[in-house]
């Protein structure tokens, strides 16, 4: 989706290239770049993958590659966990003395 | 004139950036290459308890309820020897404005920033502290930037961290999200330099003094409810601030005999800076990955002298497993009607085991809860664990393997508080202190400092010094 000026967008940029990471990081982290994602209001227009300038909520101006327009939040409540569903009733049975407790 | 913004150049300017962004000249408290005057630092750069309470009251922080967990106490008694099973209370810190005890720390940091005339605040936190700073900054009309370690190199983020990022944005903060790595501090330093904002570090004297009200409120409320001082307070331990501030508050309120027990989730074997291990853990804080290194070397923090010094205050340190914490999170919701976030229930898991060691007229206080919601809940966290190849099953948590298996207990008798010997932490602390100062011979004041820092017997400290080939006056 193309971003136009004023859209709420997410950008990405590379902070440190692979191999240029802090000396103390383990090999698997050393092998990948340190990347940054940032959101803000588009100051210029762009298509995904193109460079874009944004203004952040703190009022900073930043530049990076356009990732998403009006980015959502992927997290939620997930699925019920079968291993936990029976915990409440089990504990209640112990509390009510219906099950050997020791 | 443009500054060199490379990793090396910014890290080399660390001290200069810190002084400008925290407003404390730490050199004032230094006493040579090893020791410093901790109490003087807390007195001069922190705030007295009454003033902390007044500052927190301005933004509705603190004075959270102390709730008695009657059904969980009864459950613990069912599995305790006759006459045992202490009363269990919990301090419902989820009632703070941003949903966790971190609001207490943030309240002081943001107050300080406003008082000193900064236009904004910056903190590096993937957890509750970021949301707390963002919330307090909104109340005091300051700009806020939160820097998060949020994703692995595939762009996958733990649901709990993504939720914290959402909360920060909800409070109007800019959220800078990074892939895994300790260079988060390089990014935070760069932003401090770029913006001239205040560094709302977790480890300043005012941040830590912000937690002291938690300890003093526990003392007052516990006396009111039970007619006695808490016999034991269980504190979820990560960076050390929670233990330090709570214990200092308890002492200031006159609790001389209360045992302070730190509890962390056991994540041994997982590397905290590993891109691959990042999403194989289901807890982002309250775990041994922070708890052990910060106890054995507090000054690894982002300020020259960390005000959180847990070894000074810990009477005991125990670990619990991820599966046990998810289990008690379910128990808290189902038996007490309190749906709270898992990480905050680390100390509750330990308390259920520890209560069985204490007589039934004793009182044990679980010192925090935290908010729950999308992402920060057993369902999304365990769903995410499964998606990342971690096995989730019922069984004996003895078989727990961090990053491989999460074992949910089959019975409350399987909840255990595993002893982590404080001697080991104390020995490592002394070793780290010696390594950092590079001295082969200590003077009397430096030996006293190590005794205070580790709260260990003199003979123990002397033996560790001898073991490390270090001489000292006798």
Which of B75, B172, B330 has its CB closest to that of A94?
B75
Is pLDDT above 90 for B453? yes
Helix (H) or strand (E) holding B348: helix B346-355
Same domain, B316 and B279: yes
Q: Between A31, A77, A88, which is nearest B374 by CB?
A: A77
**Element holding B35 (H helix, E strand):** strand B35-36
Q: Of all residues in chain B, what percent carry a pLDDT higher than 90?
A: 95
Three-state secondary-structure class, residue B90: strand
Mean pLDDT, range B143-152, rounded to an integer: 97
- The pLDDT assigned to B281 comes to 87
Per-residue burial over A36-60, b = 16 or more CB atoms within 10 Å of its CB, e = otherwise: bbbbbebeeebeeeeebbbebbbeb
Select the residue from A19, A59, A77 to test the B interface by mutation, using most B Cβ atoms within 10 A. A77
- Lowest model confidence (mean pLDDT) among B39-53, B145-159, B274-288, B315-329: B274-288
Mean pLDDT of B153-166: 95
pLDDT score of B390: 96
Write out chain A residues lying below 8 Å of B377, CB-based: 77-78
Q: Are residues B290 and B394 in the same domain?
A: yes
Flag if B334 and A40 touch (Cβ within 8 Å).
no
Best mutation target, A81, A97, A98, to test chain B (most B CBs within 10 A): A81
* B190 and B60 inside one domain: no
Task: Count how many residues are written for chain A.
Answer: 102
- pLDDT, average across residues B438-455: 97
Residue B306 and residue B324 in one domain: yes
Which pLDDT value is given to residue A100? 56
Residue among A28, A36, A81 minimizing CB distance to B176: A36
Q: What is the CATH number of the domain that holds B344?
A: 3.40.50.1100
CB pairs under 8 A between A and B: 162
Beta-carbon separation of B383 and A101 below 8 A: no
**What's the predicted TM-score (pTM) here?**
0.97
pLDDT in tens, B189-215: 999 999 999 999 999 999 999 999 999
- Predicted local confidence at residue B2, as pLDDT: 78
Examine residue B286 and state whether it is found in any structural domain, yes or no: yes
Q: Say yes or no: B292 and B387 in one domain.
A: yes
Taking an 8 Å cut-off on Cβ atoms, the answer to whether A35 and B153 are in contact is yes
Tell whether B214 and B357 lie within a shared domain.
yes
Quick check: B388 contacting A, CB < 8 Å? no
Q: Is the pLDDT of residue A101 over 90?
A: no
Mean pLDDT (chain B, rounded): 96
Helix axes B444-454, B458-467, angle to 10 degrees: 110
> Can you give the residue range of the structural domain that contains B463?
428-467
Residue B382 reports pLDDT greater than 90: yes
Any B CB within 8 A of A100 CB? no
Q: Express each pLDDT in B171-190 by its tens digit.
A: 999 999 999 999 999 999 99
DSSP letter at A46 equals: B
For position B1, what pLDDT does the model report? 56
ipTM of the complex: 0.96
Task: Tell me: do B306 and B373 sit in the same domain.
Answer: yes
B residues 84-123 lying closer than 8 A (beta carbon) to A: 120
CB-CB under 8 Å, B182 with A22: yes
Whether residue B274 sits in one domain with residue B411? yes
Residue B77 in any domain: the answer is yes
Tokens of A95: 């509390």
Q: What is the overall mean pLDDT for chain A?
A: 94
Number of domains in chain B: 3
B75 and B113 inside one domain: no
Q: Closest chain B residue to A38 measured between Cα atoms? A: B176
- Does position B15 have pLDDT exceeding 90, yes or no? no
pLDDT exceeds cutoff 80 at A99: no
> Which residues of chain A are within 8 Å of residue B173 when distances are taken between CB atoms?
57-58
Q: Beta-carbon neighbour count of residue B410 at 10 Å?
A: 17
Asked if pLDDT for residue A102 goes beyond 80, the answer is no
Name the residue of chain A whose CA is nearest to B169's CA.
A57
Confidence class for position B4, pLDDT limits 50, 70, 90: very high
**Residue numbers in A near B176 (CB within 8 A):** 36, 38
- CB distance B273–A26 less than 8 Å? yes
Start-end of H helices in B95-235: 102-115, 128-139, 159-170, 184-195, 205-226
The answer to whether A81 faces chain B, any CB pair under 8 Å, is yes
Which residue from B minimizes the CA distance to A33? Answer: B153
Tokens of B105: 């720390």
Query: Cβ contact (<8 Å) for B7 and A25?
Result: no
Query: Is B183 near chain A, with CB under 8 Å?
Result: yes
Q: How far apart are CA B253 and CA B260, in angstroms?
A: 14
pLDDT, tens digit (0-9, with 9 covering 90-100), for A17-58: 998 999 999 999 999 999 999 999 999 999 999 999 999 999
DSSP conformational letter for B86:
-
Residues B441 and B405 in one domain: no
For chain A, the structural domain boundaries read 1-71
Contact B334 A34 (CB under 8 A): no
For residue A28, the chain B residues in CB contact (below 8 A) are 274-276
Chosen for mutation from B151, B183, B197 (greatest number of chain A CBs closer than 10 Å) is B183
Matching residue, tokens 């301005």: B58
Q: How far apart are CA A98 and CA B240, in angstroms?
A: 42
Fold (topology level) of A1-71:
SH3 type barrels. (2.30.30)
Contacting A residues, span 15-54, partner chain B, CB-CB under 8 Å:
15-16, 20-22, 24-26, 28-29, 31-40
Q: Are residues B213 and B197 in the same domain?
A: no
Per-residue DSSP letter, B359: B
Interfacial B residues in 247-306 facing A (CB < 8 Å): 271, 273-276
* Same domain membership, residue B265 and residue B288: yes
Chain B: residue whose CA lies nearest to A72: B166
Average pLDDT rounded to a whole number, residues B117-137: 96
pLDDT per position as a tens digit, B25-35? 899 999 999 99
Give A-chain residues touching B178 at CB under 8 angstroms. 15, 34-37
């Amino acid at each position: 989706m193309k971003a136009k000026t004023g859209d709420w967008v997410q950008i990405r940029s590379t902070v440190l290239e692979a191999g240029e990471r802090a000396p103390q990081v383990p090999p698997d982290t050393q092998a990948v770049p340190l990347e940054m994602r940032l959101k803000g209001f588009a100051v210029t227009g762009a298509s995904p993958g193109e460079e874009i300038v944004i203004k952040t909520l703190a009022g900073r101006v930043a530049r990076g590659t356009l990732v998403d327009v009006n980015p959502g939040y992927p997290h939620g409540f997930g699925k019920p966990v079968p291993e936990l569903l029976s915990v409440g009733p089990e504990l209640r049975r112990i509390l009510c003395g219906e099950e050997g407790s020791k | 004139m443009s500054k060199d913004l490379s990793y090396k150049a910014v890290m080399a300017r660390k001290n200069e950036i810190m002084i400008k962004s925290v407003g404390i000249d730490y050199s004032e408290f230094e006493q040579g290459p090893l020791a410093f005057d901790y109490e003087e630092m807390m007195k001069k750069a922190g705030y007295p308890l009454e003033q902390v309470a007044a500052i927190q009251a301005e933004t509705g922080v603190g004075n959270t309820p102390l709730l008695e967990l009657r059904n969980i106490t009864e459950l613990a008694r069912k599995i305790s020897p006759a006459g045992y099973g202490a009363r269990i209370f919990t301090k419902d810190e989820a009632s703070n404005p941003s949903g966790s005890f971190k609001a207490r720390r943030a309240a002081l940091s943001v107050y300080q920033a406003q008082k000193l005339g900064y236009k904004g605040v910056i903190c590096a936190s993937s957890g509750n502290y970021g949301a707390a700073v963002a919330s307090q900054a909104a109340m005091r009309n300051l700009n806020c930037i939160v820097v998060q370690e949020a994703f692995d190199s595939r762009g996958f983020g733990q649901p709990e961290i993504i939720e914290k990022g959402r909360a920060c944005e909800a409070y109007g903060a800019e959220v800078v999200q990074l892939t895994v790595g300790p260079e988060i501090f390089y990014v935070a330093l760069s932003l401090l330099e770029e913006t001239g904002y205040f560094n709302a570090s977790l480890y300043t004297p005012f941040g830590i003094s912000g937690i002291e009200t938690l300890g003093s409120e526990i003392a007052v409320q516990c006396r009111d409810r039970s007619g006695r001082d808490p016999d034991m307070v269980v504190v979820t331990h990560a960076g050390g601030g929670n233990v330090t501030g709570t214990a200092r508050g308890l002492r200031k309120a006159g609790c001389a005999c209360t045992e302070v027990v730190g509890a962390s989730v056991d994540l041994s074997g997982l590397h905290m800076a590993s891109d691959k291990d990042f999403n194989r853990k289901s807890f982002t804080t309250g775990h041994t990955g922070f708890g052990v290194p910060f106890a054995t070397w507090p000054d690894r923090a982002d300020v020259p002298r960390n005000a959180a010094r847990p070894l000074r205050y810990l009477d005991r340190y125990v670990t619990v497993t991820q599966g046990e914490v998810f289990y008690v999170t379910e128990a808290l919701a189902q038996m007490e009607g309190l749906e709270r976030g898992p990480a905050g229930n680390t100390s509750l898991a330990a308390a259920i085991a520890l209560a069985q060691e204490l007589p039934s007229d004793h009182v044990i206080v679980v010192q925090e809860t935290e908010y729950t919601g999308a992402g920060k809940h057993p369902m999304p966290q365990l769903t995410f664990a499964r998606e990342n190849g971690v096995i989730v099953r019922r069984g004996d948590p003895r078989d727990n393997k961090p990053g491989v298996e999460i074992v949910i207990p089959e019975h409350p008798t399987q909840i255990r508080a595993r002893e982590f010997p404080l001697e080991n932490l104390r020995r490592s602390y002394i070793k780290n202190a010696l390594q950092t100062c590079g001295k082969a011979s200590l003077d009397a004041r430096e030996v006293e400092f190590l005794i205070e820092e580790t709260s260990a017997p003199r003979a123990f400290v002397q033996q560790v010094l001898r073991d490390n080939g270090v001489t000292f006056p006798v």
